[in-house]
A and B are shown apart, each in its own frame.
Chain A
Amino acid sequence: MGSFVFSALFANGAVAAIVEIRIFLDKGPMIRPATLLSRRGTAMPIVAMVLVVVLLGVFLWLLDRSEREEEEHALIRDALWVEQSLRFQLASDVDRLEQLADTIGRSGGTDVTAAMRHLVTTNPAVERVLWLDAEGRIAASVPPVPDGRTVAEGAEPGARGDALRLAGSLGKRIYTAPYQLPQAGMGFDVVVPVYRGRGYAGALVGVFSIDDILTHHVPWWIAERYQIAVADSNGAVLGAKSRIAEPKPRRSHAIPFDPPGKGMTLVATVHRTESNLGRTVLVAAIFGLTGSALWSLWMVRRHIRRRLRAEQQLRTEHAFRKAMEDSLTVGMRARDLQGRIIYVNPAFCRMVGWSEPELLDRGPPMPYWPPEDLERCQAVFSTVLAGQAPPDGFELRLMRRNGERFDALIYEAPLIDANGRHTGWMGSFVDITERKRAEELARQQQERLQHTARVITMGEMASTLAHELNQPLSAIASYSAGCLNKLRADTVAPAELIPPLDKLSKQAMRAGRIIRRIHEFVRKRDPKVAPCDVAEVVEDSVSLIRADARKHGVRIEVDLAPGTPPVLADRILVQQVLLNLMRNGMEAMAQTPREARLLRVTTRVQNGAVLTRIRDRGCGVAPEVAETLFSPFFTTKKEGMGMGLNICRSIIESHHGRLWFEPAKGGGTAFLFSLPVVSP
């Protein structure tokens, strides 16, 4: 139990050491913190754990050693005890033999057998008692000897005889060397000389069986723990308490067994160590705990490494996102559900001119709302918070800090957090002031171009238009000259002059109309989209171009569908398209025989659009030209700019219409354009 507490304390100490290392590292200079932490952070706990294990091992080894020493002491003690006990037994047996010998010496051998028998029966270690006379013959034997064998019986020849002689001459007891007993096992003799009076009267021999001595005089509690054996000087076992063969040499202790002596030793061998279950469990538990501590340490380390990796990734990701965010030119602004700003990116700050801290936590009205547009901004704000922001963005005029106004294109999207909760609104702002300016510039350029094209068209038609204008002017001059002639001749009734003067004024109006049309057509003006009747536009255009047609010898047929619904268009631009297409058609018929030069203009209502068709009887459009017909600067004419059809198409497309061409039946080309009817 003590060792467990010790190891637990140690483990705690190691953990504390690790914690300290961590703290030290956290406070240390932040030089490559990750690698530093990973190197020391992993090495130190492992060293500590190894130390713990080594110390535990040493501790257990010391414990084991002290136990062994204790066991050794017990062994020696027990062996000494056994030896003493055996010697005591033997001594007491030999004492009885001597008493008997003394009795025989005094009584002269009467009633010896009974005493001998008593001795044998009460002393299990004594195998046999012999009384030998002075000549070495057996006078009595208990148990009786079956034949009349003498001294030499049992022991090696002469051994007992030598002992007899020695005993007789020395007058004291003599132990023989061990020998093989006839029954089994080894044994030895104790020869006690018998003196009658002063004379040697034989000897009393006690045959002791070593096995029996051990069997009867070694107590069970010794036998339980040790194997007690008697060995000779060569180590050969002469007898043992139990004869279990030991698989491997165990600790043993040998003590000289004297008497009987003769090199005999008493050997006590530990044959069963006490199995200390509690301690084994304890050791197992300690090692188990150490193992699990190591394992958990390793797990912690792995966890930390994973965490570090994740943190590193997070840092990288964060840096990446930050860089991305900082590099954006699109302003980002997040608001919570109440409309307070919770986030702005640098681009947004740059755009409006207020810094992040100034903007954060601001609610409406925002500082970047222009004062004149407050209501509109407030309305848009409410729309967005109500979740009704248009998904394809909306435009709003905002204000910079320096008071400059700018147009922003704003996209609002709900802000959803990691748990899927709607926490606010994220808006992205694109400054489209420049774009709008560019668009406006492009539009103006387009208008200028269209206007230039109109002026060029008029310039090209100038001579024919002059002719057209000459018609009424000539008529006017003729009428007036005629009237003057009549008046000068004084032969006229005033009533006669009324019809020509009437006609004159009509011609003046006609001239005025022509001039107005030209002026309207050429005048620089802003596009004015309004519902207009295509039929009227066609008639106007035809009247403008009729003089030109006459010059080219081209007949113009106009076929207008009755009651065409109005279209939403700028009539002058549509007129420009018509004039361009009609002039192209006329020019295409330069090689056509004069009688066949016919330009046909028709209007039809089709699929919710007014379709205008201008068909010539010209040379048609060559297939290789067809693809590039509408590209800018493409022309088949000598003096052409190549802008006509291009401008026509862009005009029609700006009216959401379509302009195309197809080969006409019976030769020539038909150009068609459609303009959507005004939806009621």
Chain B
Amino acid sequence: MTAAKVHIVDDDEAIRDALSWLLQSRDVQAETWESAEDFLAAWTPLMAGCLLLDIRMEGMTGLELFDRLRERGCRLPVIFLTGHGDVPIAVSALKKGARDFVEKPFNDNDLVDRVIEALAFDAEQRAREAGQASVTARLATLTQRERQVMDLVVGGKLNKVIADDLGISMRTVEVHRAHVFEKMGVKTAVELARLLASV
């Protein structure tokens, strides 16, 4: 995984330079890209951070790049830089899952704040994704009976009801339940339910 940074894609050299200077002044690392095509060619799923994307560019536009990246499964948060008249385009981009848009000329530290938020979001997302990967692995260690018991526990059933449903003794249910809690690394049924809901 590469270090998280802000990727600025704008065909205007001045904007690129000014933004990277601004971000640098707040100790945010930035990398600049001259065109959408350049960025698309360089993109890997391992890229972390966020994307500052100009909507209007010669050649491939920001919106197109956004669509391509989504197609390829890129989940980098995207903040669009828009001109005055481009708000409808930006709104449609938001609907497609863009994180934010900033209208030019922007309130600069506000932009930086949003960038930092996006970076944090990305980091969290990446962490969550990492967590999810462990839950899935833990689920795989459960036996079939333990899985059945877990589903019923998450469904909010009492041990006695579970015993009746499965045609086993209360004592057996408690053992399975203890195993599930242990394997899944949770202490309460509520914790378990939250963990499963995150997957």
Contacts and interface: CB of A to CB of B under 8 A. Distances in A.
Contact of A472 (B14, B56, B61): B14
B58 A482 contact: no
A475 B15 CA distance: 5
Contacts of B104: 467, 470-471, 473-474
Contacts of A486: 25
B25 A467 contact: no
B21 interface: yes
Interface in A500-519: 500, 503-504, 506-507, 510
B105 A482 contact: no
Contacts of A300: none
By size class, the interface of chain A is 35 or more
Contacts of B105: 470, 473-474, 476-477
B84 A479 contact: no
Contact of A467 (B14, B85, B107): B85
B14 to A, nearest CB: 4
B44 interface: no
**Nearest 7 pairs between A and B by C-beta?**
A481-B108, A463-B85, A467-B83, A478-B18, A485-B25, A475-B18, A470-B104
Given A466-B85, A467-B83, A470-B84, A478 B58 contact: no
A400 interface: no
A639 to B, nearest CB: 15
A599 to B, nearest CB: 11
B83 A463 contact: yes
B15 A481 contact: no
Contact of A470 (B18, B19, B83): B83
B106 A477 contact: yes
B18 A485 contact: no
Contacts of B108: 477-478, 480-482
Interface in B80-97: 81, 83-86
B56 A478 contact: no
Contacts, number: 100
Residue picked from A472, A478, A507, A594, most chain B C-beta under 10 Å: A478
B56 A551 contact: yes
B109 interface: yes
Contacts of B65: none
B24 interface: yes
Interface of A: 463-464, 466-467, 470-486, 489, 500, 503-504, 506-507, 510, 547, 549-551, 553, 555, 594-595
A217 to B, nearest CB: 165
Contacts of A464: 83, 85
A485 B83 contact: no
Contacts of A595: 59
Nearest to B83: A467
Given A485-B25, A550-B58, A479 B18 contact: yes
A594 B63 CA distance: 13
Contacts of B85: 463-464, 466-467
B22 interface: yes
Nearest to B61: A553
A412 B89 CA distance: 71
B34 interface: no
Contacts of A547: 56
B57 interface: yes
Contacts of A503: 14, 17-18
B128 interface: no
B18 A474 contact: yes
Contact of A482 (B11, B25, B86, B106): B25
Nearest to A471: B12
Nearest to A504: B18
A477 B104 CA distance: 10
A555 B106 CA distance: 27
